[in-house]
Amino acid sequence: MADYYTLLTNAGIAYETACKAAGVPIKLTQISVGDGGEGGVYNPAATATALKREVWRGPLNALFQDEKNPSWLLAEVTIPPDVGGWYVREAGLWTDTGILYAIVKYPESFKPVLATSGSGKEFYIRSIFETGNASLVTLLIDDTVVKATRAWVAGYVADELSKLDAKQSVRVATTGNIVLKAAQTIDGVAVVAGDRVLVKNQTLSKDNGLYVVANDVWVRAKDADSNLKVTSGLNVSVEQGTTQADTIWQLVTDGPVLLGTTALVFQNITYGFAPLSSPAFSGTPTAPTANVFSNDDALATTRFVQRALGSYAGQTNYATNTQLTVADVGRLSIFTEPGLTATLPDWNSVPPGGLVHLTTTAGLTVKTRSSESISAVNTTSLASVVLQPGNFAVFRRLLLGPGWSLDSGDAALKYSPLFQASLTGANGYKKDPSGLIEQWGFVPSYNTGGNISVVYPIAFPNGVLSITTQRLDGVISAGTIVITQMPGTGFTFVDTAGPAGDVNSIFWSAKGR
């Protein structure tokens, strides 16, 4: 056995076992010192329930686990200068219930007191003992009497600083996946044991973080080695490197972090901190461009802004029949050969509102997949849309489908109410944006001298401006065609040119508004 040691008492072990069974912590509150009694120095035994002769008792200053040996507990106390006049040869740790938990054989030391010895001093005791349940042991502290040692204050301040988002700078930052082991070259810098490194590009993002280089396996830096120390917003500066020197990186992973499990994502925030004269502004820093369909709080690059302002995401020329895909959304697709067909993307692959821009230099037929449809203003379920050379069309992915809408472009004008027309058969009409309406028709057979009624394909809302007729019998005879108008819905005519009963036909046209 060592000359000086700490051991758990039998009573302490029993108390620990009971606490573990009940699922409650082991609570240590006080430490006492003694002079060993008449016999002086002695070897404490686990059967002890008290010190041989206690001379002072006070509250513990601190109780914590050893960094390298988790099963070791370190207990600290400071004996004030106004007590003493005796030797310290033994010490004891006490539970909140008054049980002697551990007993210490202490190197013989005299504790002077000013009143009798002419000298006084604070007396610092640290006891180390081993327990199988170190994580269950807690310290009950009376803050009104406990004194903090310099070592405790330094450790406390270091731990609290480690919890802040601003971390100590690193020498270099990675630019790709690395093996977290041994000295190596990172971003053009040969790192050695003890260097701090920002690891941000691992294939498994859970392995990202701040590390200290070691000759064997690297360990996480002390200021970023626990969940409490690695939080969203953590930022760190990079000192050296071919591409990463003088940059600042921030952890943008949201929510609580479970170190070693949660994916850690770092983002370059140099521009948010560095002055314009900083070397960080040399070159052209870049960032990922958000997805074309993004609608969140991600930072926008200049490319994304240009696209949002109306610039195309790109341009593709097609010279063959093409099934368009989601990659064509937001781009300008130009079809350069005559007689081509463009099939709009799979409706399911494009978010609602996605736009497809098409134009042609030689004519184009646009259709959808067999299970989908195209609609336009006042028109549903178009089989296809034909673009003449030079035409332009914009198709929008509908929220409810499956289908697309022809929203704009000169190819959409034929479906606008302002350009409405009926062009099938002998009778028809067309409208233009000014409000002018033209209508026409054919009366294939009528008898000269009789009253013939004509009904317009559509009524003129505001009246007729003119009516023109042309006989098609091939015989021009003296006489006239007398017309009587009906109120915007048609007209009646009598042909007086030629013998009564003669059979003729006419074309007619009317203009109105």
Average pLDDT over residues 456-484: 78
Give pLDDT, residue 479.
53
* pLDDT of res. 280: 44
Confidence (pLDDT) at 503: 82
Class of 315-413 in CATH: mainly beta
Residue 281's pLDDT is 43
Residue-level pLDDT at 379: 76
18's enclosing H/E stretch is helix 10-22
CA distance from start to end of the chain: 116
Q: What is the pLDDT of residue 307?
A: 65
370: which residues sit within 8 A by CB, 6+ positions away? none
pLDDT at 480: 64
Instruction: Measure the CA–CA gap between 107 and 1, rounded to whole angstroms.
Output: 15
Q: Find the mean pLDDT for residues 261-274.
A: 80
At 118 the pLDDT is 62
- CA proximity to 136, closest of 241, 15, 33: 15
Q: What is the pLDDT, as a whole number, of residue 140?
A: 44
pLDDT for residue 509? 93
- Is 270 in a helix, a strand, or coil? helix
User: Measured between alpha carbons, how far is residue 308 from residues 33, 233, 301 in Å?
Assistant: 76, 28, 11
pLDDT digits (tens, 9 = 90+) for 219-255: 999 999 999 899 999 999 999 999 999 999 999 999 8
pLDDT for residue 107 is more than 70: yes
For residue 282, pLDDT beyond 90: no
Residue 465 has pLDDT above 50, yes or no: yes
Residue with the bigger pLDDT between 59 and 142: it is 59
Cβ neighbours of residue 457 closer than 8 Å, sequence gap 6 or more? 422, 427, 428, 429, 439, 441
Query: Does residue 69 surpass a pLDDT of 60?
Result: yes
Any idea which of 172-181, 218-227, 263-272 has the lowest mean pLDDT? 263-272
Going by pLDDT thresholds of 50, 70 and 90, the confidence category of residue 402 is very high
- pLDDT bucket at 315, cuts 50 / 70 / 90: very high
pLDDT, average across residues 461-466: 91
Confidence band of 145 (pLDDT split at 50, 70, 90): very low
Residues 6+ apart with CB under 8 A from 232: 251, 252, 253, 254, 255, 257
Helix residue ranges, H only, 139-248: 150-162
- Give residue 122's pLDDT band: very low, low, confident or very high (50, 70, 90): confident
Percent of the chain scored above 70 by pLDDT? 84
173-187, 209-223, 265-279, 353-367: least confident range: 265-279
For 451-466, what is the mean pLDDT? 92
Domains of the chain, by residue range, sit at: 5-161, 165-277, 315-413, 428-512
User: Chain-wide mean pLDDT for the chain?
Assistant: 85
**Region 428-512: CATH code:** 2.60.40.3940
Residue 175's CB is within 10 A of a number of other CB atoms, namely: 15
CB-side neighbour CA atoms (13 Å) of 135: 2
Token code pair at residue 280? 């960080």
The least confident of 275-284, 340-349, 477-486 is: 275-284
Higher pLDDT, 488 or 185: 185
Q: What pLDDT score was predicted for residue 75?
A: 85
Inform me whether the pLDDT recorded for 218 exceeds 80: yes
Q: Which of 114-128, 328-342, 404-418, 458-472 has the lowest mean pLDDT?
A: 114-128
